[in-house]
Chains A and B, each alone.
Chain A
Amino acid sequence: MLTTLNRVIKSGFMNFWRNGWLSTATVLIMTITLAVWTSIFLTNVVLTSVLNMLAEKVDVSVYFNLDTKESNILSLKSKLEGMKEIASVEYVSAEQALLIFKKSHAGDEVLIKSVQDLPDNPLEASLNILAKDSSNYGVIADFINQSAEKSAISKINYTENKIVIDRLNNIIGVLRQSGAAAGLALAFIAFLVAFNTVRLAIYSSREEITVMKLVGASNWFVRGPFIIEGVLHGVIGSIFSLAIIVAVVAFLGPKLLNFLPEINMINYIGDNFWFLLLFQALGGIILGVFSSWFAVRKYLNV
């Protein structure tokens, strides 16, 4: 058993080496396929974080009447914090609102002076609510409208921004779905290219397979070396592919950083290097082994 395994592995390595050009071509196709798969994965990471950034820009503020007691506001805050749809609730008191207002209008002396001349703070206390998913704002707004604190509320800006929020939600949804569909389609095409390359390579060995069977080789003895070759194609392809991805990210990463300072691809690759290597190597091995297995099967029936 061990002798046979040893022979199969040795034979796989030897065929890989002696099939020079065919192995090179298969490894190159495997490299391209894995690079496409990884690019789709990384594009998805970028797209997801861009969409999340967009979604985080959408929040809803609840403004309270000037005479509302802080305890009322805090009671609504804690009720909201209990909702599973909500990511965070931030309380901005009237005093804080005034400070923020002064800070953001620091250059505008007329405006600052007119606010200071007023006897009371004209700004209302508010709760800034960030939902886990921007499509949940409708539910949250309904909840607030039905709460006991409803009478203390002067306005909810969701109602005003509803159209913009809904439109943004639609765009995010469409982008996510079409991104996933395009990614899947491209990944499938890349798979077909690699799969058929392996099939063609094994097609060229079909007579050898017959000869091996006629000399008395068992199915495993014939199939084994092809599967070892598949593993080699996958592993070498994944190393090349990772090298390409690292080079491309090293080149494009800084440019992307200029557009989207929140997305640092170089750090992402650095943090996930081993995961990416494993992802590619496993992808390559599964692809190589599956294609070889399937392609050889057809010619074993002798």
Chain B
Amino acid sequence: MIRFENISKIYNSHSVALKDVTFEVKPQEFVSLVGRSGAGKSTLLKLLIAEEKPTGGKIFFNSQNVLKMHNRELPSLRRQIGAVFQDFKLLPNKTAYENVAFAMEVAGKSEAQIKSDVCKVLDLVGLKDKMNNFPRELSGGEKQRVAIARAMVHRPSVIVADEPTGNLDPINTWDIIRLLLKINELGTTVILATHDKEIINALERRVVSLENGTVFRDENPGRYILS
């Protein structure tokens, strides 16, 4: 479904983010990308949603080469991938409801469908009663749940989560992880980048470990082991 082929990303001679990374993610898998800060986890996810371009290699999404896509085709690629970020990246001038609805609006969905789906998803993440609040009126955990609702509302085939619990306390962290597991059970592929050892070891799912920009371990089920 997703295949990284000999991917490298070199910012300059002193800063090599990824070197010859190759691995594949199958449909409905739950894959964790682990590694220290700067190991290249975030960079890999940014390459998949074409936020950045690699220096070399190929990235296939549903057998389409992401790097060969024209700028005009990127919106439709991104609508098939739901992204969750460490810093939430909510739109500050939109309410929780509008933030989630935005992901459907960009795809041109009808108002009626948006209304019904957004309410359902906000209910699923437990924020139905806060749907008219602005991000500044929500806690960190609530913001991240809105972000997850936004990432899943248009039923993407993949959700990529880049350190989604990095800014959260342990209780909120587990809420978010449970949500991601639930989404995965419903049939969505999940790629989770994290450096939280406890989470990885409790998940018992496939783990791809990155170090210094290369894959040094890929196990299913895997544990959090760094050299």
Binding site for B on A (CB under 8 A): 3-4, 7, 14-15, 18-19, 207-208, 211-218, 221, 302
Contacts and interface: CB of A to CB of B under 8 A. Distances in A.
A29 B54 CA distance: 43
B51 A212 contact: no
B210 interface: no
B75 A216 contact: yes
A15 B105 CA distance: 16
A216 B106 contact: yes
A215 B78 CA distance: 6
B76 A216 contact: yes
B78 A216 contact: yes
Chain A to chain B: the 8 pairs with minimum beta-carbon distance, closest first: A216-B79, A216-B78, A217-B106, A211-B89, A18-B93, A218-B75, A216-B75, A216-B106
Interface of B: 49, 51, 72, 74-79, 83, 89-93, 102-103, 105-108, 110-111, 150, 154
Given A15-B93, A19-B93, A215 B108 contact: no
Contacts of A207: 89
Interface centre among B49, B76, B93, B103 (most CB of A within 10 A): B93
B52 to A, nearest CB: 9
Contacts of B92: 208
A208 B76 CA distance: 19
A212 B105 contact: no
Nearest to A207: B89
A215 B106 CA distance: 8
A221 B51 contact: no
Q: With a 10 A CB-CB cut-off, give which of B76, B78, B79, B150 has the most chain A CB atoms.
A: B78
13 contacts: A3-B108, A3-B111, A7-B105, A15-B93, A208-B91, A212-B91, A213-B74, A214-B78, A214-B83, A215-B78, A216-B78, A216-B106, A218-B75
A7 B103 CA distance: 13
A278 to B, nearest CB: 32
A216 B51 contact: no
A215 B93 contact: no
Nearest to A19: B93
Contacts of A7: 105
Q: Which one of B74, B76, B90, B105 has the highest number of Cβ atoms from chain A below 10 Å of its Cβ?
A: B105
Contacts of A19: 93
A95 B105 CA distance: 88
Contacts of A15: 93
Nearest to A7: B105
Contacts of B93: 14-15, 18-19, 208
A298 to B, nearest CB: 15
Contacts of B83: 214-215
